[in-house]
Amino acid sequence: MTDAPFKFNADNKALTKTVIAKYPKGRQASAVLPLLDLAQRQNDGWLSRAAMDHVAEVLDMAPVRVYEVATFYSMFNLKPVGKHHVQVCTTTPCWLRGSDGVLDACKKKLGVEPGETTADGKFTLSEAECLAACVNAPMVQIGDDYFEDLDAESVTKVLDDLAAGKTPTPGPQVKRQTSAPVSGAKTLVKGA
């Protein structure tokens, strides 16, 4: 699997040209992050060595420079992941608000530990460093979506929906408008 050849498909090849054109001539290496992201999306959520080598070729970079970038950023997966990559934030704000319970619920529901993928290949569970939604802690990122204000029950429902082929609603899982106070607006309210 890791030795499979990789080339951008026709749509992504055209997109690489658009991305590279955003950078000054001779500075195409600046497009390494968006091209690695594009390669990861095309390659079922992970970067094989062949995918990184192709990005290096497209950007006329030494492959080791691309490997350095891919290994530095936690958003890049260097081994296959499940269809749904469940990343539980366990940094201090999420931990203080109960991320241990959220992580335990994920482990129980999925039957895997962090860093493992379910036998059916549908879910990979990971612990993540700060995902920058601290005000809505605890939270998980699944694919490109954030699920916030979680507890064991609500994260289990999100996982059940995904397992059933449903699309759960991202964002706060409590009655909150984005990152406003859970108790509702406190400013710019008449008589407040």
CATH class of 10-72: mainly alpha
**b/e for 98-126, b at 16 or more Cβ within 10 A?**
ebeebbebbeebbebebeebbeeeebbbb
148 has which bridge partners? 172
**Residues 148, 167 contacting (CB under 8 angstroms):** no
**Residue 58, token pair as written in the block:** 């497209």
pLDDT tens digits, the chain, 192 residues: what are they?
456 999 999 999 999 999 999 999 999 999 999 999 999 999 999 999 999 999 999 999 999 999 999 999 989 999 999 999 999 999 999 999 999 999 999 999 999 999 999 999 999 999 999 999 999 999 999 999 999 999 999 999 999 999 999 999 999 999 888 888 887 777 766 665
What is the distance between the alpha carbons of residues 61 and 57, in angstroms, rounded to a whole number?
6
The model's pTM: 0.87
CATH top class, domain 84-172: alpha beta
**Which residues make Cβ contacts (< 8 Å) with residue 23, sequence separation at least 6?**
30, 31
The structural domains of the chain, with segments of one domain joined by +, span 10-72, 84-172
